[in-house]
Every structure is written in C-alpha cells, then in structure tokens.
Structure 1
Amino acid sequence: MSSYLLVHGAWGGGWVWDDLAHRLEKAGHRVTVVDQLPSAGTEPASLGDLTADANHVRRVLNTVDEPVVLVGHSYGGMVITELADHPKVRHSVYLAAFWPRRGQSLLDVLGEGPMPNWIVPRDDGALEITDDFELARDSLCADLDRDRAREMFSRVVLQSATAFGVPSTAPDRGHPTTYMIAAQESDNCIPVAAQEAMSANANEVVRLPAAHMVQLSRPDELAEALGRI
C-alpha cells in the first residue's frame, strides 16, 4: 500500500484526479489531492506564480504523516521539481509533465517561438484556453469523447502567465523518479518527442497510450502503473 499526493496542471483543479483517486483508494492506497494551485483560479488579480504553487504543495506535504509518491501532471511537473529535496517525498512521478533544469522556466522549456495557438493571453495578465472547442480538444484531450471533453472545458479556470516565467530552483534530488509519457502522437500539448527528451532524466519510463489528459481518458491504466511504484 502506498500514499500518493496528486498535483494538477495549469487551468485545472483537483477534480481532474477524481477517477484516478477512486481507483487508487479502491486498491487500498491512500490519496491526497491538491485541490487548487494558487496560479489557477477565477480572479486574475489574485493568481500566484510557481513559487506560490510550490509553497502551497509544501504545506500540504507537511500535513501528510508518511512518505508519498508525488505525482505532477503537465505544469504540475514544474511544481513537483521545486520539492525534489522534500523529506516526505519518496518518489516523484512526472505525468506528461514539464521537467525543468535548474534556472529554467516553463517558457524556457517550451523554447523560442509563439505560445501554442490554443492558449489565449488576456489583457489582465491571465491565460485562458481557446473557446475553439475542436482546437482545444485536439490539443489537450483528443482521446476523450466530445461530451466528456466539453465537460472538462466547462470546469477549467484562468492560469497565471507569470507562473510560466519563473525559473525553477530544482534542488538536488534524493529519491527516484518515473516519467510517464502520454504516447498518443496526436498530443499537441507536450509533443511525444519533448516528453521523451525530458524522460531521459528519469529512473524509469512508462508509456501510456493516451493524449495529454491521461487521468481522464486512461484512469485504469494509470492507476495500475502508479500502483507498481
């Protein structure tokens, strides 16, 4: 039996883990979910950055009574990297996630060039997901049926643009890591080749036949993979 702490990505919330958490708990594991990172929310003026997100997860970690498997999805990989030296973390899992080197921001990891066309900058400094449903679905969750995808997009919130520019401190790591690649080639959020490049740093690599929102489209396979850690 293991204990897991699940960290969502940009524009999301703890709800993205509902299906996975149910399966892990049914298998006898303990699950803690970060309900809402400070960098995501409905009020642009109150959105935090990467440092605020890391501090928030650190506070959650400090309330857990046992070592955890720390799972970060997408932007959540930036957050869990900040906690690489936390004594409560026994294993980190990057789920189709950004894995920066020390001094790299998410924008650095993305590289030069324009922001992906499904991300829409707002005048108030926040970022939102395009209201072009087909573009958004193709970019983030091409393997979800349209009704499920519409439900997902109805729940997304704003994301802090500032969070994407904060460089990672990437402290020295004292525990093993697993990178789980969302291996569906149609994934336009973090292309498979980019995931593979980041996964070179991991102790173990797992490939899942899914698009970016793996926890929604393949919760059974994901729960099984996490259960092996």
Structure 2
Amino acid sequence: MRRRILSTFALAFATSAVAFAAQAAEIKNIVIVHGAFADGSGWRQASEILTRRGFNVTVVQEPLTSLAADIEATNRILDLQDGPTLLVGHSYGGMVITEAGHHRKVEGLVYVAAFQPDKGENLATLAGSKPAAAVSIRETPDGKYLYLDPKAFPADFAADLPAEEAAFAAKSQVLAAKDIFGTRVGDPAWRTKKSWAIVATEDRAINPDLERDMARRAGSQVSEIKASHAVFASQPEKVAGVIAAAAKEAGE
C-alpha cells in the first residue's frame, strides 16, 4: 500500500514537473521600449508580424522626461503582463531595459541598435567613446530638451525608409530631456539574464562598432542586419525573426 502511494506521488510530481517545464518554456509576451527622438508607432509592422506568430505585443510609450520615469513607465507595462516576458529596447530604450530588465517577469533582453550600458555608464559617455557618423542633435531654446534636426533626420536616422515615412518620423519625433543623456545606469540586468543584440550595420546614430563592443561585453547573442538606425521599421521581418527566436531560447 505504501509503495503504491509513493508511486502515485512520484508520478504526480513528475507530471507536474513536465507541465511546469512546458509552461516555463512558453514566452508569449513581448514588451518593446522605443528610443529617443521617436515613439512606438514605428514598431507597428514588427508588432503585427509578431502578433501573427502568436505573441502578445505591447509597446511602451515612455515620456522621455528622465531615465527613472521611463523605467517606471516600462515597469507599469511589465506589471500588466500575464506571464514570462521578453523585453526589447531600441537605441536609448536599451538604457531603459538594462534596469527595467530586473523585473520578475522578464526572462530575456533584446537590444535593437541600442545602447547596452554597464553599471555607472551614461548614454553621453558611451556615445562619445566611439562617435557615430551623424551629429545632428539640437537643443530646444530653453536648453532642456534635445531633438534631431528634421532636415538631417531622414539621412541620419532612417536612410532606408521611404522618403515620406522618414519625413513624417522627423516631424513626429518625441523630444528627449537633456538630463537622460547624462544619467548613470545601475546594475545591468544583462548580467543575470539572457540577452540578444541586433547590430544595424549602416547605423549613423550609433556607431555599429560600439554596438558590437557593448554586445560582446554583455555576452549577448548577436545578429547583424544591413540597415539604418531605424532597422525595426525598415527590416521588420528580420527584427521580428530575431525577437521570436530569442523568446523561444529565453524560455528554454
């Protein structure tokens, strides 16, 4: 009798373990954090591709008023997810996910043509370590916010988008508080969680070699895509493919 009970218990435990493992491997939530001088609308095509593949995609519309406020905005969206989540960041969004990635629901991080800082680093210092090809950032008259010169925006940010799309992106860009570029990052989540990085080889906003160096330092799995800084919009199929593969691997 005792042997039968133990056998039944062992079977139940094994069944539960298998079910738990299957559940742990299932990451269906994707949260995307856009970069500075942009908003989440540029991610529409990539989001639709991922949705058709069965993912639940949410794009954070962070305020770009401070790094702390942007992390809080991301955490609010992560709180709403119903299970394990893959966190994706583009450009400055990489600074945000590096800290927001500590959220208990985040299983992995994907950096898309993004800054991937270590503890104590800020965006300005990182960008200056290997300057980008473009220098078209301007200050607002009050000196508190930064933006990309609309005339230079298409070439420097989105050279491989149709001209009308790039022009509209320049007109609809979100100004970023100057302070966010000097704010230092705390302990990076990529030290404890799996990470992936997409290098945009034609990037004029972030030096592609800097993207490679940051990814190498973090031990991220790297994919290179021939595209501008707006790789998420100009190559949505390829970017979505990397994200989908990362979601599968992060759950294993």
Counterpart of 2:8 in structure 1 is none
- Write out per-residue CA displacement over residues 142-165 of structure 1, whole angstroms, 9 at most, x where no aligned residue: 111212211222221211111111
Give the TM-score, by structure 1 length. 0.88
Query: Displacement of 1:203 after TM fit?
Result: 3.1
> C-alpha separation between the residues in 2 aligned to 1:69 and 1:146?
32
1:128 paired with 2:147, answer yes
In the other structure, the counterpart of 2:230 is: 213
Q: Could you tell me whether the CA contact under 8 Å between 1:180 and 1:205 is conserved in 2?
A: yes
Aligned to 1:179: 197
Counterpart-to-counterpart distance in 1, 2:242 and 2:66: 30
2:221 match: 204
Which residue is equivalent to 1:142?
A: 159
- CA radius of gyration, larger in: 2
2:119 maps to what in 1? Answer: 102
SS of equivalent to 1:193: helix
CA distance in 1, matches of 2:101, 2:48: 26
Instruction: List gaps (5 residues or longer) in structure 2.
Output: 1-26, 247-252
Match of 2:62 in 1: 37
Q: Does structure 2 conserve the Cα–Cα contact (< 8 Å) formed by 1:83 and 1:171?
A: no
Larger helix share, 1 or 2:
2
Match of 2:106 in 1: 89
Does the aligned pair in 2 maintain the 1:181–1:196 contact within 8 Å? yes
Report if the CA contact (8 A) 1:100-1:170 is conserved.
Answer: no
2:88 match = 71
Superposition deviation, residue 3 in structure 1: 1.5
Is the 2:38–2:172 contact (alpha carbons within 8 Å) kept by the matching residues of 1? yes
Superposition pairs of residues 7-46 of structure 1, within 5 angstroms:
7-34=33-60, 36-39=61-64
Q: Which segments of 5 or more consecutive residues in structure 1 lack a partner in the other structure?
A: 40-47
Q: One-letter code of the match for 1:78?
A: M
Query: Structure 2 length normalisation: TM-score?
Result: 0.81
